[in-house]
Structure 1
Amino acid sequence: MHFHTLGSAATLLLAFSSLAAAASPSDSTKLANCLKPLGSKVITSKSSAYEQQRYAFDLRYTFKPQVIVMAKSAADVQTAVKCAKQANVAVAPRSGGHSFEGYSIGGQDGSLVLDLTTMNSVKVQGSKAKVGAGILLGKLYLDLFNQGGWTINAGTCPSVGIGGHALGGGFGLLARKHGLLIDRIIEMEMVNADGKLLTVSATQNKDLFYALRGAGGGSYGVVTSFTILPVKPAKKVTSFSYEWKLSDHAKVLQAYIKFQSTASRDVGVEMNVAPSGLELYGIYQGSKSKHAAALASFLNAVPKPEYADVREGRHIDAQLRFAFVEGGDPKDINALALQGPYRPGDSRYTKGKSLVYPSALKPSTIALLGKWAAKKPKGATSNYIIVDLWGGAVKDVAVSATSFVHRDAHTVFEFVVEWDSNTKAKPGKPDCKDCLKWMNDMYKEFLADYKTNKYDSIIRGYQNYIDLAMPNWLEAYYGKAVPRLKKIKASVDPANVFRFPQSIPLK
């Protein structure tokens, strides 16, 4: 990929002077002069690459960054952060760019976007893997496999960047066996608000080690690398998918919720509830011959599936299967790297919400799942509710050990509606009004049901499915950790350099 090369300082200043940003002319000049050493890594609205690099994954969001820095090293990040602080410009780190609210491009006009995508190296040494913070999960899975058959306990979507995913918790199909991704991160390198590169671990910068693991998505600094303890999956794993008619939702979901308390930690599952029906999919860490016994208590309690697809193979094959990569050969593991014609299957226009349930679902909640999944909004290309079973190893870590407060989660819902699935979709198209009405009307009913059933004293949500309209979002995402998180924020970033609409506040 080639970027416009900025020549003289005069060219750079001219580009900045034309930007529609909150900064004053003097601040823009100051920022331009400060960033000059980064040369062509600096992209302004006068750069030919600006429109290409301006947008993140969800094309609903068209915020206009004051400048985009395509960082290639921690030193580049340090320079950019120092300059942003000096010019009073908010810093927005971007790994995969999948923020549900466009925070990867600032969540507002005028930010400095720090794109980390070229910082994507993976190096396994012994039992540790050092990973660049800009790598996408698909490429990470592929690189770990190629360096000794390793993997990590993270999500399925291959185009998600490790940065935001890890710092918000990082749930995936291996979480019940190996915990959240943050539970296997032993060290991070982070550029703080003063532009200093810090080592963050259980013995160095311990408060940051606590805060970053669960609440670190852009509020405290820019993480440039992670050191992770990867895992060795079983030599033979079994990936599976079962489907039922939506009319069977009550029996299937009741059995599914009951299965959470007895399921082996070797079973990682999700349930997709949609107008087309219900789909249970997941990975069992073992052979196909043993898989039936591992799922027996669930399968014996539900109607016969309309469809079943059970496959034994390598874990990397299971990861590719659930990556939903368009244009990839299922036999070609390189599809995980999202190279060439490969595209993630998700639409580029999306709205998502979440709810965290700390106890088994009540019948009224299960009924709502069936009711709202049956509705297909006009204009939607897809609408569904993902019901994740948590528990297992997620609960093994004390809630006080990290800033991730949902250790007691029994079930987590992700509500999603998508529109415009064109792979060449253009940014800034009008929202699908019926899609958003479906989402908002549905969520209102689920909130009322949550309160009626007294699942918790507060409404709770999963921060990786961040939602600007989340009721009492700070407590919903971070619970009793909020006072400590605010204190750490005030200590490490008193000038609030790292700020966006739902960043951890100073007070």
Structure 2
Amino acid sequence: MRFDTLSLSASALLLLSSQFSKAYILPPNAVPAPGLVARQESLAPAVNSTFITCLKPLGAKVLQRNTSGFEKNRYAFDLRYTYNPEVVVMAASAADVQVAVKCAKASNIPVAPRSGGHSFEGYSIGGQDGSLVLDLTGLSSVTVTGSGSSAQAKVGSGIRLGPLYLALFNKGGWTLNAGTCPSVGVGGHTLGGGFGLLSRKHGLLIDSLLEIEVVNAEGNLVTASATQNQDLFYALRGAGGGSYGVVTSFTFRPIKPAAKATSFTYDWPLSQISTVMKAYVDFQATASRDIGVELNVAPDGLMMYGIFQGTKSEQAAAMAPFLKATGKPASSDIREGRHIDGQLRFAYIYNDPKDINALGLTGNYKPGDSRYTKGKSLVYPSALKPSTINLLKKWGAKKPSGGTANYIIIDLWGGAVKDHSADETAFIHRNAHTVFEFVSEWDENPDVKPGKPDCAACLKWMNDMYAEFLVDFKANYGTVRGYQNYIDKEIPNWQDAYYGSAITRLKQIKKAVDPGNVFRFPQSIPLQ
């Protein structure tokens, strides 16, 4: 399969589109079909009039139930979830966030910050009825100061990765070590760790963080950094997604990518998975840090894709040991250009695949993904065993009836991710060898409405498969670990799976900065 859409078959196009589905924007006209009652929605209590009165200084930024503005902005990425917020506030400044948080605290209403809105469990709209959804897309400024190693990029917490990459490029050729999906918000992505195709060279996105501005439970705007509010800075880097406050801006150390970068894809039939996965596993120990790579396992086959920081000839030399082990792929597509060209390529934007301005997600941008999805994850601490590879072969070949796509993405970690100790931040998965993301999707219509029934066969595929992977994981790798950016409320012992021994300190910090539990959702850091 190739990323040149003109050469894709219908099935290949569908697979590739689904591969990046967790990253696209909900169309503003997505409202329930008439007469359709979503399964998660309950009869909401009467709106708290005291709360609404408190929010009056925000004027038209406050969207109340049963209004067109509320319905247009009520839903997030995964249309399975139709929780009914108390209100949606379209914040345009940190001051707006402060007002909203103070009002929510006074009325005991949980606060749900929303940057890109891509929570697999609907936590971007509260994960429950009656939350205050604080939409942060109005906080999208990007400024770069300084030069060289002293450069700093201050970024509004509501900007999405595509527009962020474009803005940084236009301000001096900068970038960040973040993910591929263009409509994922920088907020949740960063606060959960932030893995991407530059992570083997530059670490996680939290490793580039210099400073965070956050509205705390008192409604005060505070700064967290290595020298200010250090405990909060620790917690926000890995466990900060909605548990400790509302982040309004990040200050990063931006990255100058190589002058030439080479993006690439290699494809194999699923029948070759044992050989390819063995080579992939062995490659992790010796691969150049200039290689950022992922591998997609799906019924249509295997696809390895990534970006190399260097020329095409240098990429060929770096990949030679891996390709010698796998044998010649069924197809390949190697392109030398700028790093931002590779970012655009793997953002998978239809409207103009050659114009980097498409990363701005403006105009006729259409995501083309299902927006009905379920995701899970596992973090593997060591090289994969043959039994695990056999499970990939078994379940990768299955295609549930009614599904748009199902796939397993295998991220190759290591490199600079391991340069930071596990207790430096709240992110505990520093020694990860590979990270699996399991995804099932249904209904690919880009204008699909929320609240439709689940695909039972899709969820059965997910649940049955994951159960087998869990048995194998416990037998071969120890305590179950998952990546919090692929949040899953069904993962066994989620507090330990996502945060390990760090959970004790995280609860202590939570109690210190948010004793009233203003920032709460089904998997927020608890007080005890």
Normalising by structure 1, what TM-score?
Answer: 0.94
Aligned counterpart, 1:493: 514
Aligned counterpart, 1:139: 163
Residue by residue over 1:444-497, the C-alpha shift from the partner in whole angstroms, topping out at 9 and shown as x without a partner, is 0000000111x12x2100000000101000100000100000000000001000
Corresponding letter in the other structure for 2:102 = K
Q: Which of 426, 440, 458 is 1:435 aligned to?
A: 458
Corresponding letter in the other structure for 1:287 = T
**Does structure 1 residue 189 correspond to structure 2 residue 208?**
no
User: How far apart are the structure 1 equivalents of 2:98 and 2:366?
Assistant: 32
Determine if contact 2:298/2:397 at 8 Å carries over to the other structure.
yes
**Does structure 1 residue 372 correspond to structure 2 residue 372?**
no
Corresponding letter in the other structure for 1:47 = T
- 5+ long unaligned stretches in structure 2: 1-27, 29-41
- How far off its partner does 1:344 sit? 2.7
Aligned counterpart, 1:413: 436
Looking at both structures, which has the greater relative contact order when contacts are Cα pairs under 8 Å and sequence separation is at least 6? 2
User: How far apart are the structure 2 equivalents of 1:46 and 1:483?
Assistant: 42
**Does structure 1 residue 44 correspond to structure 2 residue 67?**
no
Aligned counterpart, 1:75: 95
Q: Which of 353, 363, 381 is 1:340 aligned to?
A: 363
Q: Which of 481, 485, 501 is 1:460 aligned to?
A: 481
Aligned counterpart, 2:12: none
Q: Which of 97, 118, 123 is 2:138 aligned to?
A: 118
Aligned counterpart, 1:11: none
User: How far apart are the structure 2 equivalents of 1:83 and 1:343?
Assistant: 36
Aligned counterpart, 1:93: 113
Q: Which of 394, 400, 404 is 1:381 aligned to?
A: 404
User: How far apart are the structure 2 equivalents of 1:433 and 1:467?
Assistant: 18
Aligned counterpart, 1:398: 421
Corresponding letter in the other structure for 2:61 = K
Q: What percent identity do the matched residue pairs reach?
A: 70
Residue by residue over 1:194-245, the C-alpha shift from the partner in whole angstroms, topping out at 9 and shown as x without a partner, is 0000011000000000000000000000000000001000000000000000
Residue by residue over 1:125-160, the C-alpha shift from the partner in whole angstroms, topping out at 9 and shown as x without a partner, is 111000000000000000000000000000000010
Determine if contact 1:20/1:66 at 8 Å carries over to the other structure.
no
Aligned counterpart, 2:377: 354
Aligned counterpart, 1:15: none
**Does structure 1 residue 276 correspond to structure 2 residue 303?**
no
Corresponding letter in the other structure for 1:461 = G
- How far off its partner does 1:324 sit? 1.2
**Does structure 1 residue 480 correspond to structure 2 residue 501?**
yes
**Does structure 1 residue 65 correspond to structure 2 residue 88?**
no
- How far off its partner does 1:48 sit? 1.8
Partner of 1:311, secondary structure, is strand
Determine if contact 1:159/1:344 at 8 Å carries over to the other structure.
no
User: How far apart are the structure 2 equivalents of 1:468 and 1:224?
Assistant: 26
Residues 83-232 of structure 1 correspond to what in structure 2 (within 5 A)?
83-126=103-146, 127-232=151-256
- How far off its partner does 1:330 sit? 1.4
Q: Which of 240, 243, 256 is 2:264 aligned to?
A: 240
User: How far apart are the structure 2 equivalents of 1:343 and 1:154?
Assistant: 22
Corresponding letter in the other structure for 2:495 = L
User: How far apart are the structure 1 equivalents of 2:91 and 2:231?
Assistant: 26
User: How far apart are the structure 2 equivalents of 1:21 and 1:215?
Assistant: 30
Partner of 2:247, secondary structure, is strand
Determine if contact 1:92/1:112 at 8 Å carries over to the other structure.
yes
Q: Which of 40, 48, 53 is 2:73 aligned to?
A: 53
Determine if contact 2:368/2:445 at 8 Å carries over to the other structure.
no
Corresponding letter in the other structure for 1:71 = A
- 5+ long unaligned stretches in structure 1: 4-18
Aligned counterpart, 1:252: 276
- How far off its partner does 1:275 sit? 0.2
- How far off its partner does 1:345 sit? 4.1
Determine if contact 2:175/2:257 at 8 Å carries over to the other structure.
yes
**Does structure 1 residue 422 correspond to structure 2 residue 442?**
no
Corresponding letter in the other structure for 2:244 = Y
Corresponding letter in the other structure for 1:67 = V
- How far off its partner does 1:21 sit? 4.1
- How far off its partner does 1:47 sit? 2.3
| Aligned residues between the structures | 484
Aligned counterpart, 1:324: 348
Aligned counterpart, 1:33: 53
Partner of 1:69, secondary structure, is strand
Partner of 1:37, secondary structure, is helix
- How far off its partner does 1:32 sit? 1.1
Partner of 2:347, secondary structure, is coil
Corresponding letter in the other structure for 1:97 = G
- How far off its partner does 1:347 sit? 1.9
- How far off its partner does 1:78 sit? 0.1
